[in-house]
Structure 1
Amino acid sequence: MSPRKSTGDLLLADQAFLAFKQLLLRGDVRAGQMVSIAELVERSGYPLAPVREAVKHAESVGLVQILPKRGVLVIEPTPDTIRACFHLRCMMDQEGARVLSTRPDKDDLQALREEHAVVRIRAEEGITPQLQRQAMEVDWKLHLALADALGNPLAARVYASNHDRITVLQLSRRLLPERIIPAMDEHLQILDAVLQGREEAAMQAVRGHLAGTLRWWGVNLPELAATCDPAS
């Protein structure tokens, strides 16, 4: 039997996990990269034992894979992984869109729609690195609003972990300026349907966004969008 961990060890492990996650979310350690525990100790500034626990935690939420005697492999942007992560987001976003469509108070969503419209207009005028960052922030605002609409703490934890996985995957490739306008259009379709209270149209728009996202990743599987349809 392994010795019982002290509260201090657990707290350090939690801190080490957050430090490791920041390395991933900043792109300092990238998707598909192999790193050693010793390297993570050096980069995170935490002792060996907490870092080992942090890596185990990261593996449990799908951010890395521990390969014995080889190291730690960060989540890879393979077609199967991309499919799984965005399909999961699609399923949850659909329900969030449906719920939001039924709510009478949509002032926050109207403001979010205006943010999307501004980004789209500016994109037509010319893409800049600053606009690319703004587009990503606005993009995630909608997805997080859809997740929050579920009002389910268990779902929130799953969504947050998937958000981290998608963020790490997105950092594995350069931003494509030509994707901004189509993505904003897809989001505007979702928002318009939600604002108009059209539940089925909102869910269909979420599935359309999934298809557009997969095409951007080069994973062109139209039948996957159909699997998100609860009627199928």
Structure 2
Amino acid sequence: MRAEDGNGADLLADQAYGRLVALLRDGTLRAGEFVTMPGLTGATGLSIAAMREAVKRADSRGLLRILPKRGVLVMDAGPETTRDCLDMRMALDCEGARRLIARGVPDLAELRDAHEATLAAARGARAPDLTRRAQRVDLSLHDALAAGLADNRMLAEAYATNRDRIAIIQNTRPFLADRIVSAMEEHLVILGALERGDAQAAVAAIREHYRQTLRWWGVEV
């Protein structure tokens, strides 16, 4: 096989993986769901060879499990998995906050504005797309904290993979207006600590957000 043929196969596998993750993130493929390989190729429009490589990658990252000669099973979203994923995010968020503050926190005005607007919408329950909007804003803070990990490729990759796992978990739980209010308030406390450059307060606020998320999701701390 020519080198360019190999590169083409790699590109297709990357494309297939991207489409597979998109289906997991948007809830088209849900936690605990079984799906066949023909079903995946039909959903993505890509070849079985490319999808096999994508599935292997997703399996190695804990997003799903390969069932030989049958298909794949999307990761479960039970209490133990939920606790482990959120615990991992908390640890990475805390380290990201410390590193951001040590290097100099970027301007967070836009992020703060998005949180305050979402908080106001949740209090008034006025936005028809409130859940999706709140999920995007929620993830935006965690992504901002993960930016502090950018100088360590392994930490950044660990965050990215865990982000996908949490997206699968989120799709199994309703994001109620009351929780959106409290989550945005918790995030604003974290943002305030970052803006002040107070690493200790940021870590404490991140840990409190973790505890409250577990509580709202019905998982014991």
Alignment TM-score, normalising by the size of structure 2: 0.89
Cα deviation, 1:187-214, whole Å, max 9, x if unaligned, reads: 1111111212221111010000000111
Please tell me whether residue 97 in structure 1 is matched to residue 97 in structure 2: yes
Q: Which residue of 1 aligns with 2:66?
A: 66
Identity of aligned residues (%): 46
SS in 1 for 2:129: helix
Q: For residues 170 and 127 of structure 1, do their structure 2 counterparts lie closer, same or farther at Cα, with a shift above 3 Å needed?
A: farther
Q: For residues 105 and 44 of structure 1, do their structure 2 counterparts lie closer, same or farther at Cα, with a shift above 3 Å needed?
A: closer
Partners of 2:185 and 2:59 lie apart in 1 by 35
Q: Which residue of 1 aligns with 2:118?
A: 119
The offset of 1:100, in angstroms, is 2.9
| Native 8 Å contact 2:105 2:195 kept in 1 | no
Q: Which residue of 2 aligns with 1:192?
A: 192
Q: Which residue of 1 aligns with 2:37?
A: 37
Partners of 2:110 and 2:50 lie apart in 1 by 43
Partners of 1:52 and 1:94 lie apart in 2 by 36
The offset of 1:99, in angstroms, is 2.6
Q: Which residue of 1 aligns with 2:169?
A: 169
Cα deviation, 1:7-42, whole Å, max 9, x if unaligned, reads: 333322222222222222222211110011121122
| Unmatched runs of 5 consecutive residues or more in structure 1 | 222-232
Partners of 2:210 and 2:40 lie apart in 1 by 34
The offset of 1:97, in angstroms, is 1.6
Q: Which residue of 2 aligns with 1:216?
A: 216
| Native 8 Å contact 1:101 1:193 kept in 2 | no
Cα deviation, 1:65-89, whole Å, max 9, x if unaligned, reads: 1122442100110111111111111
| Unmatched runs of 5 consecutive residues or more in structure 2 | none
The offset of 1:57, in angstroms, is 0.9
Alignment TM-score, normalising by the size of structure 1: 0.85
Please tell me whether residue 22 in structure 1 is matched to residue 22 in structure 2: yes
| Native 8 Å contact 1:127 1:177 kept in 2 | no
SS in 1 for 2:41: helix
Cα deviation, 1:143-167, whole Å, max 9, x if unaligned, reads: 1110002232221111111111111
| Native 8 Å contact 1:97 1:190 kept in 2 | no
* 2:43 maps to amino acid: R
Q: Which residue of 1 aligns with 2:75?
A: 75
What root-mean-square deviation, in Å, do the aligned CA atoms of Structure 1 and Structure 2 show?
A: 2.0
Q: Following superposition, which runs of at least 4 residues in structure 1 exceed 4 angstroms of deviation?
A: 103-106
Partners of 1:19 and 1:65 lie apart in 2 by 17
SS in 1 for 2:197: coil
Between Structure 1 and Structure 2, how many residues are aligned? 217
* 1:56 maps to amino acid: K
Partners of 1:99 and 1:213 lie apart in 2 by 24
Q: Which residue of 2 aligns with 1:140?
A: 139
Q: Which residue of 2 aligns with 1:49?
A: 49
SS in 2 for 1:65: strand
| Native 8 Å contact 1:98 1:194 kept in 2 | no
SS in 1 for 2:108: helix
The offset of 1:64, in angstroms, is 0.3
The offset of 1:114, in angstroms, is 2.8
SS in 1 for 2:73: strand
Please tell me whether residue 130 in structure 1 is matched to residue 126 in structure 2: no
